[in-house]
Amino acid sequence: LSSKFPLEAVEEIYKGIELACNKFNIDLIGGDTSSSKQGLVISITSIGYADADKVTYRNGAQENDLLCVSGDLGGAYVGLQILEREKLIYLENPQIQPDLEGKDYIIERQLKPEARMDIVALLEDMDIKPTSMIDVSDGLASEILHLAEQSDKGITIYEDKIPLDPMTYETARELGIDPTVCALSGGEDYELLFTISQEDYKKLKHDVDITVIGHVTDKNSGCKMVSKSNNVHELKAQGWNAFNKL
């Protein structure tokens, strides 16, 4: 923590942490503060437990399973682009205030992501146990590759099935960015990507917050996306890799 941070800002951070802990029924059991020359770095360690028969890993996807995702994708990345654009304008002319009107949803997707515990509860209520699962933190393409690699399978998705909020789509176009690329590589959406058996499809097919975007194939088929024009493209990860050297 830099000494440049006012006490009021630090107190607001702690209020936010307390709010999150209360919302998700988490106990905060410790903390340590160290000085830094500039900026703010927060490192958090989470410890929890679950019944063994309710845990879903990344490695259980089976051939012909359906690939599903919660919510919508790409909003956090597009929200970040808006914030960065307005910051540049402000730095050039501090008299101009940020213009974020009408962008509330995508700004919140970037600044206030939330864990989709509601989806976990929903699947349990539907008596559906996913065969594999991962959260979308590094972009849809990257997470698909993780599931495929861990499960030793291939995965095919369909571009026209990827859920995009209208604000995400329209703002991406406004910024000259392909909305599909935002979903595939943007990251920080923190939605849940998971596979289910085809037998479970009838249980969730009417739920508007879960979208089937593809299916699991054999390993030799690789990871592909069928575009809106019916062309087949190999999926490549463009998301964050903590082990990449700068």
The verdict on 172 and 77 lying in the same domain is yes
The verdict on 10 and 64 lying in the same domain is no
CB 222 within 8 A of CB 154: yes
Which tens digits make up the pLDDT trace of 119-178? Answer: 999 999 999 999 999 999 999 999 999 999 999 999 999 999 999 999 999 999 999 999
- Coil vs helix vs strand at 157: strand
**Nearest in space to 173 (alpha carbons), one of 69, 70, 71, 82:** 82
pLDDT at 19: 92
Return the CATH number at 144.
3.90.650.10
Is residue 74 within 8 A of residue 168, CB to CB? The reply is: yes
**CA pair distance 232, 4, nearest whole angstrom:** 51
Same domain for 154 and 217, yes or no, is: yes
pLDDT band at 239 (very low <50, low <70, confident <90, very high): low
The answer to whether residue 82 is domain-embedded is yes
Residues 179 and 92 in one domain: yes
Q: Are residues 151 and 30 in the same domain?
A: no
Please indicate, yes or no, whether residues 20 and 106 belong to a single structural domain of this protein: no
Any domain includes 245: no
Res 241 pLDDT > 60: no
Q: Does some domain include residue 244? A: no
Exposure b/e, 59-72, CB count within 10 A at least 16 = b: ebbeeebbbbbbbb
Same-domain pairing of 73 and 174? yes
On the question of pLDDT at 242 being above 60, the answer is no
Task: Please tell me whether residues 135 and 44 are part of one structural domain.
Answer: no
Say which residues have a Cβ less than 8 Å from residue 72's Cβ, sequence separation at least 6. 163, 164, 165, 168, 189, 191
Segments forming the whole domain that contains residue 106 = 52-234
Residue whose structure tokens are 């082990």? 243
Closest among 44, 70, 73 to 188, alpha carbons compared: 73
Convert the pLDDT of each residue in 169-217 to its tens digit: 999 999 999 999 999 999 999 999 999 999 999 999 999 999 999 999 9
Task: Give the mean model confidence (pLDDT) for residues 10-34.
Answer: 90
Count how many domains the chain has.
Answer: 2
Q: Are 126 and 197 in contact (CB under 8 A)?
A: no
DSSP output for 162-223 = S---HHHHHHHHHTT--HHHHHHH------EEEEE-GGGHHHHTT-TTEEEEEEEE-GGG-E
CA-closest candidate to residue 182, choices 105, 62, 75: 75
Q: Which tens digit of pLDDT belongs to each residue from 66-107?
A: 999 999 999 999 999 999 999 999 999 988 888 899 999 999
Query: Does a structural domain hold residue 6?
Result: yes
- Give the H or E element holding residue 15: helix 7-23
- The verdict on 34 and 69 lying in the same domain is no
Same-domain pairing of 34 and 72: no
Spatial contact of 69 and 164, defined as CB atoms under 8 Å apart = no
* One domain, residues 115 and 16: no
Any long-range contacts for 11-16 (C-beta under 8 Å, 24+ apart)? Answer: 13/42
